[in-house]
Amino acid sequence: MLATTSTSLTTDLWYTIRATGVVALVLLTVTTVLGMLAASRARTRRWPAFAQVDLHKRATLFALVFLGLHVLTAVVDTYVNVGVLSAVVPFASPFRTFWTGLGTVAVDLLLAVAVSSALRQRIAARTWRGLHWLAYACWPFALAHALGAGTDAAQLWMDGIAGACSVAVLSALTWRIGYHRTTREVEDRVGAVTRAVPLRHRTTAPTGATGRTGGPSAPTTTAPTATALLERDPR
Amino acid sequence: MSRAAVRLRLRVDPVACDAYGFCAELLPERVTLDEWGYPVVDGRPVEANLVDLATRAAAECPRRALHLDRVAASA
Amino acid sequence: MTTATLHRTERLLRTGPDGPADPGLATHLALHGPLTVPPRDDREWSHAVWAEVNRSGLTGRGGGGFPAAAKWDAVTRSGRRPVVVVNAMEGEPASAKDRSLLAWSPHLVLDGAEVAAALSGAREIVVCVADDRDRTARSVGYALSERARSGGGRPVSVVRPPSRYVAGEESALVGWLERGDARPALRVDKSVPLQLRRRPVLLHNAETLAQVALIARHGAAWFRELGTAGAPGSTLVTVSGAVRTPGVIEVELGTPVEDLIGRTQPTGPVGAILTGGYGGAWLHPSRASVPFAPGPLTEAGATIGAGIVVVVPATSCGIAETARIARYMAGESAGQCGPCVFGLPAIADDLELLAVGRGDAGLLARLQRRCGEVAGRGACRHPDGVVRLVRSALDVFGDDVRGHATGHPCAGHAAPTVLQFPSALPTRAGAA
């Protein structure tokens, strides 16, 4: 009796690990796609930007919940030996060390992104932005982990899900890169005024703004009568 | 019963603003965007029924550029 | 208070071609007389001098027009020792008065800074000279070494912020001193002094301090002998454009603009007069009898600015010149605020089209709309100045505007400009 109970518990845990992992991957895909769409600042009346960002944040929250369950069950479960350390330390798991490690990397990256976003108002804008770029690295690690460490990788349904996620992310990425924005180069002028501003600083405008770069293009000829204003040199 | 007449006014910090436009989406009654996507804020006090939306708009600004200031109402 | 003889309207610039060609300390003392400034806090002296400056009605000569004595009030109220900052940046291309003053009467400016420091309890003076004005910096440096040899005063340092239009704005200058960031800051309450290393900043234009040095010597009544009741004293004006002898002149406030221009001999009929600088306003020549003083100029739709007058001849096109100014000013935006970064180039675009007569039917309406949208929506007054200039252009050149807008620009639009613009690229990007 006891043996059966523990086996069914182990099995439940085992299924939970896999299930929460798949759901986490899907949610991570959703939030990554939403994040890319939101960053492009494309919007419609029915799909306003604030809602895109809001949904992106909520999807990440859900992903974190399922990821949390996934990591917890994986650590607790005795069927495979993952070890508590592997929750945050990559490549510390005896079970499929490399592929599990990739998952840990994904978790670390996601935590960095999530925590920095939670503290967004308290940290420098540049810091937040730099950390948020790590989000792009998070999803590939998660997918690789799912295919390498996940024991369902060979199954058709899992392949289907992985395929759909990949298509979604790659399409969003292509669209994100290709989305046409009128950029305006401001910092050629700004850079001279300050030491703090880095050399390239782009301010973007929605399409429709006239695309002139700043800087005087007026003729700088000086009329003969307006010779240099008094620059009397005392010595 | 009279309530303390504290008015709330919206104000944009033009240096912080990066034309995300969330404020105009959330509160079109008070914020419109100019042709370059930057907010033009109606300076009138915010009516009671819009205060929640205004608070949310200020909180959701990614650059924290929108402020809801308490302005003491004149007698 | 002094035994030196003073010419009627020559107070600040008494050395140079018309006088002793030597801005040194000995000449300075011979011309203006000595000035004793207490090295330590001296309440009686401070009160006396403050009262004189207050009574004199001296207002800032850097374009702000703020009463000098009131600034001191605000700074001393905070309780901490302030820092005196001398603003000799002169970012307006059409202005040369501050560098002339520092070249020819540096000791007056330094005296004034010393007075301001003694009065406010400051123990430190910082002189800001733009990084492309080496001659001016050398002049100040030499004057400082002369003063050091003859017994010093409070420590004075000369710093070289970037030579950009907005870098001379008060909050930009203090921002550069504090963080190396010469961009204007958003100031919610202008009566609260700016801070430098947690000390309040007492910032004055160089000419204002030179006037202070004279008031400390000769008193308020002497100062008010010139000028009008509402605008007392003398002021330096830079006159340029289509005139035979462009340069810096010292005039009594209230002098009619046409007399002022007359002194520099216009080369021909005057088409328009630019007042206040590139962020100022146009004045129609028919109104040139207006007194050169803040109030009357503003009433006439013009502005005094930092004492700048540019004479545009009748053979030029005011719209074309306005377009050039707008383009220059668009490039000088600090780049912090969208309406300025995008609005000013857009306004310049339309003005250029208008100048050559290639505008579309909606151009004027669009220009007006954009002016309304850009003004007041930046952190500083840079876009506001441009909008003021553009609006005054549409008013003063109203007749020409109609012709230009319908594809018939005036003949002058192709004439060479009488305006001066610094070269397009900054001389030193982010100089250390």
DSSP annotation of C199:
E
pLDDT in the model for residue A151 = 76
**Size of the A and B interface in Cβ pairs below 8 Å:** 32
pLDDT in the model for residue C297 = 97
- Cα C46 to chain center, whole Å? 27
Q: CB C10: neighbour CB atoms within 10 A?
A: 15
The answer to whether residue B1 sits within a structural domain is no
- B44 vs C206 pLDDT, higher one: C206
pLDDT in the model for residue A211 = 29
Write the secondary structure of chain A as one string of H (helix), E (strand) and C (coil): CHHHHHHHHHHHHHHHHHHHHHHHHHHHHHHHHHHHHHHCCCCCCCCCHHHHHHHHHHHHHHHHHHHHHHHHHHHHCCCCCCCHHHHCCCCCCCCCHHHHHHHHHHHHHHHHHHHHHHCHHHCCHHHHHHHHHCHHHHHHHHHHHHHHCCCCCCCHHHHHHHHHHHHHHHHHHHHHHHCCCEEEECHHHHHHHECCCCCCCEEEECECECCCCCCCCCCCCCCCCCCCCCCCCCC
**Binary contact (A189, C331; C-beta < 8 A):** yes
Query: Which of A193, A194, A229 lies closest to C247 in CB terms?
Result: A229
Query: Which of A49, A121, A206 lies closest to B22 in CB terms?
Result: A49
C-alpha to C-alpha distance for A48 and A79, rounded to whole angstroms: 47
User: Among A54-68, C64-78, C270-284, whose mean pLDDT is lowest?
Assistant: C64-78
Question: Are the C-beta atoms of residues A60 and A120 closer than 8 Å to each other?
Answer: no
- Nearest CA to CA, how far is A223 from chain B (Å)? 37
Whether the per-residue pLDDT at C8 is higher than 70: the answer is: no
Residues of A with CB under 8 A from a CB of C: 184, 186-187, 189-197, 201, 203, 205, 209-210, 212, 214-223, 225-227, 229-235
C-alpha to C-alpha distance for A61 and C247, rounded to whole angstroms: 68
**Which residues in chain C are classed under CATH 3.40.50.11540?**
25-223
Residues in chain A with CB shorter than 8 Å from the CB of B60 are: 50, 53-54
pLDDT in the model for residue A58 = 95
Which residues, 6 or more positions from C102, have their beta carbon under 8 angstroms from its beta carbon? C88, C109, C129, C136, C139, C140, C206
Question: Which ipTM score applies to this complex?
Answer: 0.90
- Window 360-379 of C: residues touching B by CB (8 A cutoff) are 373, 377-379
C-alpha to C-alpha distance for C225 and C56, rounded to whole angstroms: 10
The answer to whether residue B59 sits within a structural domain is yes
User: Among C123-127, C296-300, C335-339, C392-396, whose mean pLDDT is lowest?
Assistant: C335-339
Query: Which of A50, A121, A208 lies closest to B25 in CB terms?
Result: A50
Work out the angle between the directed axes of helices A135-148 and A97-118 (0-180°, nearest 10).
150
Which CB contacts under 8 angstroms, 24+ apart, belong to C403-406? C403/C357, C404/C319, C404/C354, C404/C355, C404/C357, C404/C359, C405/C354, C405/C359, C405/C363, C405/C364, C406/C357
**Binary contact (A43, B37; C-beta < 8 A):** no
Which residues, 6 or more positions from C428, have their beta carbon under 8 angstroms from its beta carbon? A192, C131, C132, C162, C163
- Window 16-45 of B: residues touching C by CB (8 A cutoff) are 17-19, 34-38, 40
Q: Give percent of chain B with pLDDT exceeding 90.
A: 65
Read off the tokens for A145: 């982990």
Residues in chain C with CB shorter than 8 Å from the CB of A231 are: 96, 99, 103, 135
Over range B33-40, report the average pLDDT.
92
Whether the per-residue pLDDT at C286 is higher than 70: the answer is: yes
Query: Which of A192, A194, A225 lies closest to C267 in CB terms?
Result: A225
Amino acid in the structure at residue A179: Y
B13 touches chain A (CB under 8 A): no
H-run or E-run covering C411: none
**Binary contact (C337, B36; C-beta < 8 A):** no
Chains that touch C (3 or more CB pairs under 8 A): A, B
Q: Give percent of chain C with pLDDT exceeding 90.
A: 78
Question: Are the C-beta atoms of residues C130 and C169 closer than 8 Å to each other?
Answer: no
Give whole-number Cα distances, C226 to C106, C216, C350, in Å. Answer: 22, 16, 44
Query: Which of A192, A216, A233 lies closest to C421 in CB terms?
Result: A216
C-alpha to C-alpha distance for C71 and C203, rounded to whole angstroms: 9
Whether the per-residue pLDDT at C17 is higher than 80: the answer is: no
C-alpha to C-alpha distance for C69 and C271, rounded to whole angstroms: 39
**Size of the B and C interface in Cβ pairs below 8 Å:** 37
Interface mutation vs chain A, best among B36, B55, B56, most A CBs within 10 Å: B36
C-alpha to C-alpha distance for A31 and A24, rounded to whole angstroms: 10
Provide the residue-wise pLDDT of chain A in tens; the chain has 235 residues: 444 555 666 778 888 888 999 999 999 999 999 998 887 777 888 889 999 999 999 999 999 999 999 999 888 887 777 778 878 888 888 878 888 889 999 999 999 999 999 888 888 888 898 899 889 999 999 999 998 887 776 788 888 999 999 999 999 988 887 764 433 334 344 433 443 333 222 333 332 223 233 222 222 222 222 223 333 332 2
Using alpha carbons, select from C343, C350, A185, A187 the residue that is nearest to residue B38. C343
Read off the tokens for B7: 């008015």
C-alpha to C-alpha distance for B16 and C215, rounded to whole angstroms: 43
- Nearest CA to CA, how far is B36 from chain C (Å)? 7
- Cα C394 to chain center, whole Å? 24
**Binary contact (C338, B38; C-beta < 8 A):** yes
pLDDT in the model for residue A121 = 80
C-alpha to C-alpha distance for A205 and B18, rounded to whole angstroms: 10
- Window 14-43 of B: residues touching A by CB (8 A cutoff) are 19-22, 25-26, 35-37
pLDDT in the model for residue A200 = 29
Which residue does chain C place closest to A194, by CA atoms?
C181
- Nearest CA to CA, how far is B43 from chain A (Å)? 22
Among A212-216, A230-234, B67-71, C11-15, name the most confident range.
Answer: B67-71
pLDDT in the model for residue B61 = 92
Question: Are the C-beta atoms of residues C346 and C366 closer than 8 Å to each other?
Answer: no
Q: Give percent of chain C with pLDDT exceeding 70.
A: 95
pLDDT in the model for residue B5 = 61
Report chain C's mean pLDDT, rounded to a whole number. Answer: 90
Using alpha carbons, select from A36, A88, A89, A40 the residue that is nearest to residue A59. A36
SS3 for C363? helix
Residues A115-139 as b or e (16 or more Cβ within 10 Å = b): ebbeebeeeeeeebeebbeebbebb
Instruction: Output phi, psi for C225, to 5 deg.
Output: -65, -30
pLDDT in the model for residue A85 = 81
Which residues, 6 or more positions from C261, have their beta carbon under 8 angstroms from its beta carbon? C239, C243, C270, C273, C288, C309, C311
Query: Which of A210, A212, A223 lies closest to C242 in CB terms?
Result: A223
Read off the tokens for A122: 């308290």
Tens-place pLDDT, residues C215-260? 999 999 999 999 999 999 999 999 999 999 999 999 999 999 999 9
Residues C120-147 as b or e (16 or more Cβ within 10 Å = b): bbbbbbbbbbbbbbebbbbbbebbbebb
CATH number of C318-414: 1.20.1440.230, 2.60.40.10, 1.20.58.220, 2.60.120.10? 1.20.1440.230
Q: What is the pTM of this model?
A: 0.84
Which residue does chain A place closest to C163, by CA atoms?
A193
Interface mutation vs chain C, best among A230, A231, A233, most C CBs within 10 Å: A230
C-alpha to C-alpha distance for C100 and C17, rounded to whole angstroms: 12
Residues in chain B with CB shorter than 8 Å from the CB of A125 are: 63
Residue B60 maps to which CATH number? 3.30.70.20
**Binary contact (C346, A203; C-beta < 8 A):** no
| Ranges assigned E (strand) in chain B | 6-12, 31-33, 39-41, 66-72
Amino acid in the structure at residue A188: D
* Structural domain span for residue B37: 7-72
| Ranges assigned E (strand) in C140-280 | 156-159, 195-196, 199-205, 234-241, 247-252, 270-275
pLDDT in the model for residue A126 = 84
Chains that touch B (3 or more CB pairs under 8 A): A, C
Domain C25-223, CATH homologous superfamily name and number: NADH-ubiquinone oxidoreductase 51kDa subunit (3.40.50.11540)
**Which residues in chain C are classed under CATH 1.20.1440.230?**
318-414
CATH number of C234-313: 3.10.20.600, 3.40.50.10860, 3.40.390.10, 3.40.960.10? 3.10.20.600
Query: Which of B21, B22, B35 lies closest to A209 in CB terms?
Result: B35
C-alpha to C-alpha distance for C113 and C143, rounded to whole angstroms: 13
Amino acid in the structure at residue C94: A
Read off the tokens for A70: 């996934």
C-alpha to C-alpha distance for C193 and C71, rounded to whole angstroms: 8
The answer to whether residue B2 sits within a structural domain is no
pLDDT in the model for residue A7 = 65
Q: With cut-offs at 50, 70 and 90, classify the pLDDT of residue B3.
A: low
Over range C326-347, report the average pLDDT.
91
Whether the per-residue pLDDT at C425 is higher than 50: the answer is: no
H-run or E-run covering C127: strand C125-128
SS3 for B8? strand
C-alpha to C-alpha distance for C108 and C255, rounded to whole angstroms: 24
- Cα C44 to chain center, whole Å? 32
